[in-house]
Amino acid sequence: MFWMWTILLISGLLSYLLLIKLSKRLALLSKLAPINGPPALPFLGNALDLNLAKRNVLHYLKRILDGHGSRVKIFVGMQPYVLLANAADTEKILASPTQIEKSEDYGYLQDWLGLGLLTSRGEKWFHRRKQLTPSFHFKILEGFLRVFNEQCLVFKGVLERKMEENIAFDIFPVITHCALDIICETAMGRKVFVQQKSDSEYVKAIYRLSELILHGFTDLVIRERKQERAELMKESLKETIAKEEDGVYTSSKKKLAFLDLLLDAQETDANLTDNNVREETDTFMFEGHDTTSAAASWITFLLSLHPEYQAKVHQELDDIFGSDRTREVTMADLAKMKYLECCIKEGLRLFPSVPLIGRKLTKDQVLDDGVVLPQGITIFCLLYFLHRDPKVFPNPEKFDPTRFAHEKEGSGREASICIRCPFQQAPETV
């Protein structure tokens, strides 16, 4: 009799727990019911449909968006995902001050980058972002113009040698090497001469995504930089940071590398460990070179397909530099490159370096039409397709830099959202 009551009790408890889980599942599915999506198999969901070669993923996403609208639900196993490709829904998620929890898919980068600004969450993300905000002051970029000019001169030499060979070549690795030279010097204060010797250890680490070499390289630079700073202090050669409004220059106007700024922050914050410094430096190195290289390569490709736009960019640069083609580029020069800026924005619209953004909802999110996205599900904002919304960008597959001409930027709320999203400008929490 005792065993019978025990079995009944356990069975009842399991049934109760199963009932709770089932009721939660039904409540979740009820909230998702208004959202269209492709048919899903029991237990597998749409997993078989997603088992595609990389080159076919965009075609699949386009097919389901064309068939079910710009707000679509899919299931990977039992887990629901909602895909957003319209301006209003995207703004609701990305502009929310509370929906900042990154999707669990960002975790795949943690083994390589650690818990840096890209992969961290919650309070750690808030605290780290507050620490790093001064490092992205506009004046810091101005201080790095010398590096940009020097490395672009080397880049020009590489292209000239390629042209002498008179054969077609892949420009992406050439641009990547230039970006690595720039990011290594601006982030870590180290020249690695990637453009002169592309077999350097850091390039190998980048291409292999090797934790051992990449992190070892960064750790070595951190140790060396700390030693240099200590020696400078002992010899009283370390200059006092100028108490200027911008607060980013020494008295000799020497630039501070991103690593220097982190080490400065470490001196006043004991919670910022060497491991934290490495995480942020690796994140900055990865995001700084990879996204820039991809964007520059696509923009170069698009301009090569449209010689009429290329000629306008060329004319704009001729108007700025005149006959003095060898002088260094200044911030004032950059401010005058309006047409080139339009070409860059249009290139990023067509080929965003980050084609999607993932969020895990920390609470229910009500959309403008009353549809509720339930807490706990993962949302993907598909920027690649958002930028191809024909209601916002007529003839969306056409490369047309005039879309971003000054007089058109304020042409509508949806266009404004789509203009900001490619460049992660708003909100800051993106």
- What DSSP element (H or E) covers 79? strand 79-84
CB 94 within 8 A of CB 381: yes
| 235 and 324 part of one domain | no
Domain assignment present for 212: yes
- Residue 13 within a domain: no
In this structure, is residue 399 part of a structural domain? yes
Residue 318 Cα distances to 204, 308, 333, 344, 346, angstroms: 38, 15, 11, 18, 22
Residues in the chain: 430
Same domain, 321 and 276: no
* Selection from 33, 36, 32, 34 nearest residue 69 by Cα: 36
Q: Does some domain include residue 174?
A: yes
Q: Which of 267, 290, 305 is the last residue of a domain?
A: 305
The domain boundary residue, chosen from 251, 281, 305: 305
Q: Which helix (H) or strand (E) holds 74?
A: strand 71-76
Please name the residue that has the structure tokens 């100028």.
242
**291 lies in the same domain as 313:** no
| Same domain assignment for residues 374 and 340 | yes
Q: Within a 10 A sphere around the Cβ of 14, how many other Cβ atoms?
A: 10
pLDDT in tens, 158-181: 999 999 998 999 999 899 889 888
- What would the pLDDT profile of 313-330 be if each residue is shown by its tens digit? 999 999 999 988 889 999
Chain Cα centroid distance, residue 93: 17
Name the DSSP class of 78. T
Entry pTM: 0.76
Instruction: Classify residue 81 by its DSSP letter.
Output: E
Same domain for 276 and 208, yes or no, is yes
Let me know whether 237 and 323 are in one domain. Answer: no
Alpha helices in 166-252 (DSSP H): 171-188, 201-208, 211-234
Nearest residue to 428 (alpha-carbon basis) of 122, 127, 94: 94
Same domain (yes/no): 358, 407? yes
Q: Into how many domains does the chain fold?
A: 2
In a domain, 18, yes or no: no
Residue indicated by tokens 């389901």? 64
Residues of the chain with pLDDT under 50: 112-113, 209-218, 236-238, 240-254, 407, 409-410, 422-430
327: CATH: 1.10.630.10
User: Does 299 share its domain with 327?
Assistant: no
Euclidean distance between CA atoms 352 and 330, whole angstroms: 27
Residue 365 within a domain: yes
Of 265, 285, 305, which residue constitutes the final position of a domain?
A: 305
Determine contact, residues 379/359, Cβ cutoff 8 Å. Answer: yes
Domain that holds residue 378: 34-101+306-430
Whether 80 and 206 map to the same domain: the answer is: no
State residue 360 phi and psi, 5-degree precision. Answer: -105, 120
Q: Which CA distances in Å does 4 have to 1, 13, 137? A: 5, 14, 71
d(CA 277, CA 210): 18
Look at residue 119 and tell me if it is in a domain: no
Task: Please choose, from the candidates 251, 273, 254, 253, the residue with its C-alpha nearest in 3D space to the C-alpha of residue 262.
Answer: 273
Tokens of 387: 């930028």
Residue 326 lies in a domain: yes
| Residue 287 confidence (pLDDT) | 66
Please tell me whether residues 273 and 192 are part of one structural domain.
yes
On whether both 355 and 271 belong to a single domain, the answer is: no
Task: Kindly provide the residue ranges of all beta strands, DSSP E only, lying in 322-401, ordered along the sequence.
Answer: 356-360, 365-366, 372-373, 378-382
Are both 175 and 257 inside the same structural domain? yes
**According to the model, what pLDDT value does residue 13 have?**
78
Burial of 234 from C-beta contacts in 10 A (0-12 / 13-18 / 19+):
exposed
Give yes or no for a cis peptide into 427 (omega within 30° of 0): yes
